[in-house]
Structure 1
Amino acid sequence: MSEDYSINTGQKKTFAILDYVLLSLTLGVSAGIGLFYAIKDKNNVNSKNYLLGGKDMYVFPVAMSMLVTFLSALTLLGTPAEMYNFTTMYWWSCLAFVFAMVIASVVFIPFFYNLNVTSVFQYLELRFSKPVRVLASLIYIVQTSVYMSFVLYAPSLALNAVTGLDLWGSVVAVGIIVTLYTALGGMKAVLWTDTFQAFVMLAGLLAVLIQGSIVMGGFKNAWDIAGNRSRIYFNDFSFDPTTRHSFWSLVVGGSFLWISLYGVNQAQVQRTLSCPSVFKAKLILFVNLPGLILIVSLCCMIGIVMYAFYADCHPIKFNNLISKSDQLLPLYVMDILGHIPGIPGVFVSCIFSGSLSTISSSMNALGAIIPCDLIKPYCCPNLSDRSMTILSKVIVVIFGVVAIGLAVLVSQLGSVMQACFSVYSILNGPLFGLFVLGMFFPWANAWGALVGALTSLTFMCWIGFGAFANKVSTAKPSPVFTHGCNWSVTTTTTSTLGTTTTPFTGSTEMSTVEASSDPFIPMYKLSYLYYTPMAMAVLVIVGMFFSFITGLRRPESIDPRLVCPLFDRLFPCLPEMILRPLRCGVNYKGMRGNLNDTSTTKQGQVTLLSKVPEERETDI
């Protein structure tokens, strides 16, 4: 290999002028799309057009937007680092994507589409009560606001440490641009900018993988090097729930996580609702699936090539190159592509596209739920449609400022990626559990939903805080080596470390756990991938218990549109004599033709219920 790499020179390469130009062009195009739709639709100011794209969007841009909404910059930076630090077990998550897309498209998306709602939390009021809807909305607002701040700050931090890109300049610039085009252009701007950003992300990842493979003498050679160092490993089939990444945690726990993201998350459901029919709403998930697997697989392959490149000279904390795993990929890109003007700029554009797409989708979702769930129902019931659209735009601007402000707070934390995923999963599980309780358990009432949600949220916060306070780590990093380092610029410290062959195992973290006397340590070690199903299970169990002691709902009295005919959706070919008892007494008479959602036009939708369902007065 060339002698001009950072692991040989001890020096990091920085951006050239052309790199800054290409990055500016990426941000400029995104802002331009927002301005285009703001001008184009200036005489069509209504909430349906602004929040749902007029419910007449094409399948492809919606699928691309869904693809990049949760494949943020954290994914693009974190997945290669996962391959580098651990093993290839994470690659099993692609199987979870398949299960999640099938369940979401067959069960959840048709359910919400046919309810004809703007906010998914409207369903919780129709099924349970206003307090349940408000609680869920508030949890989502907190979850989304925190997530946006992480997505805004983390990539800027990683890139600043390696490329010299100004940290707070990039945070503020990205925050202002994404707020501008989301507020002005609404859903249409978000969908088309996400589509543009998806291609930028793909181009950046391909450039890194291709050049990295060339440097290593082919991907097969990199694979062999990683295999010889125990990085290629797919055989952890442990049933232990504390195993961070086993086949079961990735496929089972991961399936629940991704079903919740694609099935009930406002940002994703809102995109499917922008399609003109149930058929197209379901189709976008299957168009999205190959792209999801491709992007994650490219990130995994990059991680393997990156490990092979640094196999004998681990760059973290040596010669002050980088200090965190989050910075591995930017360092690697500058090493292998830094000599080609403009290409590092394409990669950084790829990373910031991941941030832009996630933040814009989240802002668009907040612009929908806050007016629909919190302001119009309780403060301004006579709010006109035009006023509601303007209010949505104002809310987008407010949360753009909030995201930038929270990024300052996030900067005081330690490992931003780990903290982000933990916080998001803790809040995500109770939300998912509320929808599962309402859609599949017709006996549940509002008291059960409210108490179950609060219990589940408290339980998950306890586990998360306990894991953080006790510095619990379920991760067991694979060995890394520095015996191959050959610094041309060294210090006394680095020259000593340069001959080290002792594997890095993270023993400090583990010793902290072992020294703790907390009897709940085994519970704190629960894999983060089980947070969502665990929170859902707690909510359903507690919710059903409190529904029982406060008076179960009578299934036959519930509007059938509020309970999902699960087995009709999953097994439509079963005979009626088997399906009838599986409907749990819900009266679907007159809806039999719509149980499997075979309609493909807007006429297949139902009108949003204008009256509260029977028995609602007995709930809170």
Structure 2
Amino acid sequence: MTTIDVVIFFGYLIGITIFGSSFYRKNKTSSAFTLGDNQIPGWVIGMSIFATFVSSISYLALPGEAYMSNWNAFVFSLSIPIAIVVALYFFVPHYRKINSPSAYTYMENRFGSWARIYVSTCYLLTQLMRIGVILYLLALAIHAIFGWDIATIIIVTGLTVIIYSVLGGIQAVVWTDAIQGIILIAGALFCIGYILVYLPGGPEQLFAVAMEHDKFSLGSFDLNVFESTFWVVLIYGTFINLQNYGIDQNYVQRYVAARNDEEARRSVLYGGLLYIPVSAFFLFIGTALYTFYSTSAGQIPADLMEASRSDRIFPYFIVHELPAGITGLLIASIFAAGMSTISTSLNSSATVFLTDYYERFFKREATDKDSMQVLYISSLLVGTVGIGIGLSLINVTSALDAWWKLSSIFSGGMLGLFLLGIFTRKKNVKGAITGVIAGILVIMWLSLSKLFQLEETLGYQIHSYLTIVLGTTVIFLVGFLMSLMRSNSTSS
């Protein structure tokens, strides 16, 4: 790393903090903090939705995945249009009509306050761990590049995002997301161009090597639930993206923040569709790096060839192959991907604290001053806890792996209950509660059996991607059948 790289990196970090904090003057009311007074341009919201899709994990993991295997992960992106169509014709008009900053007001209207508390609690727990995990993994990448202390990186990054998120509210979040999205796209495109230029055989060599080693494969098309086939990833991606667009506060809050229904729909369309080619860029980088190093155009340490260290391949290339100045820009783009995700989680979590807890159970007629205090304090609290979780994960990779397996417990329960609310007309609270309990038990069983490696004893090994699919399906079917039984008993 050269001095100019360090200057560019810190220049970005300071610049984005000052820019985000500058929205403080427009952030004097709770409506401005949570919805930007409904004056945010649609293209900015679209870029923010895109940036929410892309975290620093995607920036590092997708190239590593393509390097080690193939383009099977791209099938997840191919499922996005399915969720977009549902969002355009149902989710966006649905939430725009409710006109609440919280995605979970609907759950209370449908099943009662317990449903709102359950789903919002799941969301908050997910966001806390998400912030901690991203801070930790981002610090690992930066530590590998600069050699800086991991704990220091976690604290500095966390505090930086907290400062501009608290001062600037959602306007700071979406505008910085837009800038960070542009930076990470530019960085990916530059890397692709650089590799193609410096390969001895040019693009022809890249495609020849990739085709020879089946690097562009989307996975097996067999109907096999035990492996990461095309169909398993497609079904998994459809459920995850329906959850994102249908009940994730990060997305719903942006629908409501748009100026009008048309801009809200346009932001959903553009933000989701933009991720598809960008994810392909990241996978193409991984394939290009495979050709770059396998043809001796560059040398890579043997220890990075382990599957568990694949996310360090791209950072290694950035540091050792790119020219001075560009390296700093690419490191900044990795940070941009992580910071955009964290800032979104901070603002949306604070909004949930205000609307789903404070205004619902503590002070229904809260003044705007009271609301702003809650938003500031909750943002700071969520950020601080997230930093603490990130620090606790240092050198505890088993805990990190366990969290990603158990996170499906929260997400599966949320989506299943939401779908139950959509497709059942009568308010059957007992059926909903029974469905949630049954679904969570299924999800916990599948997750824990993998966590404690019980698959061989049990005689099965269903792919972990299907955990949320099965759990969500059980919640919906049990709740739906109980609602149907109640309807028949009432009519008889």
The two structures, once aligned, show a CA RMSD in angstroms of: 2.5
The answer to whether the Cα contact below 8 Å between 2:49 and 2:272 also exists between their aligned partners in 1 is: no
The residue type equivalent to 1:541 in the other structure is L
Write the distance in 1 (CA, Å) between the matches of 2:113 and 2:304.
58
- Residue equivalent to 2:214: 230
Structure with the greater alpha carbon radius of gyration: 1
Give the drift of 1:468: 1.8
Write the distance in 2 (CA, Å) between the matches of 1:273 and 1:454.
31
For residue 458 of structure 2, the aligned residue among 505, 509, 518 is 518
- Residue equivalent to 1:351: 334
The answer to whether the Cα contact below 8 Å between 2:405 and 2:451 also exists between their aligned partners in 1 is: no
Give the drift of 1:348: 0.9
Matches for 1:41-190 after TM superposition, within 5 Å = 41=26, 45-190=28-173
The answer to whether the Cα contact below 8 Å between 1:69 and 1:358 also exists between their aligned partners in 2 is: yes
CA shift in 2, pair 1:320/1:272, >3 Å: closer
Write the distance in 2 (CA, Å) between the matches of 1:538 and 1:167.
41
Write the distance in 2 (CA, Å) between the matches of 1:95 and 1:371.
36
Give the drift of 1:269: 0.8
CA shift in 2, pair 1:276/1:425, >3 Å: same
For residue 426 of structure 2, the aligned residue among 432, 439, 443 is 443
- Residue equivalent to 1:273: 256
The answer to whether the Cα contact below 8 Å between 2:95 and 2:255 also exists between their aligned partners in 1 is: no
- 1:57 alignment partner, SS class: coil
Write the distance in 2 (CA, Å) between the matches of 1:353 and 1:144.
18
Write the distance in 2 (CA, Å) between the matches of 1:351 and 1:184.
23
CA deviations on 1:417-467 (whole Å, 9 max, x unpaired) are 865643443421211111111112113512222232233223212211211
Write the distance in 2 (CA, Å) between the matches of 1:214 and 1:193.
32
1:27 aligns with 2:10: no
- Residue equivalent to 1:534: 470
The answer to whether the Cα contact below 8 Å between 2:71 and 2:217 also exists between their aligned partners in 1 is: yes
Write the distance in 2 (CA, Å) between the matches of 1:331 and 1:175.
24
The residue type equivalent to 2:351 in the other structure is A
- 1:324 alignment partner, SS class: helix
1:324 aligns with 2:305: no
The residue type equivalent to 2:408 in the other structure is S
Write the distance in 1 (CA, Å) between the matches of 2:89 and 2:204.
39
CA deviations on 1:351-397 (whole Å, 9 max, x unpaired) are 11011100011111101111211222112233223211221111001
CA shift in 2, pair 1:319/1:237, >3 Å: closer
Matches for 1:199-278 after TM superposition, within 5 Å = 199-217=182-200, 218-234=202-218, 236-244=220-228, 246-278=229-261
- Residue equivalent to 1:9: none
How many pairs were matched up?
488
- Residue equivalent to 1:427: 410
The answer to whether the Cα contact below 8 Å between 2:33 and 2:169 also exists between their aligned partners in 1 is: yes
1:196 aligns with 2:182: no
Give the drift of 1:76: 0.7
Write the distance in 1 (CA, Å) between the matches of 2:400 and 2:254.
26
- Residue equivalent to 2:348: 365
- Residue equivalent to 1:594: none
The residue type equivalent to 1:46 in the other structure is T
Write the distance in 2 (CA, Å) between the matches of 1:424 and 1:542.
22
CA shift in 2, pair 1:172/1:238, >3 Å: same
CA deviations on 1:476-500 (whole Å, 9 max, x unpaired) are xxxxxxxxxxxxxxxxxxxxxxxxx
The answer to whether the Cα contact below 8 Å between 2:304 and 2:313 also exists between their aligned partners in 1 is: no
Sequence identity, in percent?
A: 24
- Residue equivalent to 2:479: 543
Give the drift of 1:168: 2.1
The residue type equivalent to 2:312 in the other structure is Q
CA shift in 2, pair 1:256/1:415, >3 Å: same
Gaps of 5+ in 2: none
CA shift in 2, pair 1:16/1:381, >3 Å: same
TM-score by length of 1: 0.74
Write the distance in 1 (CA, Å) between the matches of 2:421 and 2:158.
36
- 1:378 alignment partner, SS class: helix
TM-score by length of 2: 0.93
Matches for 1:296-307 after TM superposition, within 5 Å = 296-307=279-290
Give the drift of 1:327: 1.0
Write the distance in 2 (CA, Å) between the matches of 1:319 and 1:116.
49
Write the distance in 2 (CA, Å) between the matches of 1:72 and 1:552.
48
Write the distance in 2 (CA, Å) between the matches of 1:323 and 1:249.
22
Write the distance in 1 (CA, Å) between the matches of 2:463 and 2:290.
28
Write the distance in 1 (CA, Å) between the matches of 2:134 and 2:245.
19
More helix by share: 2
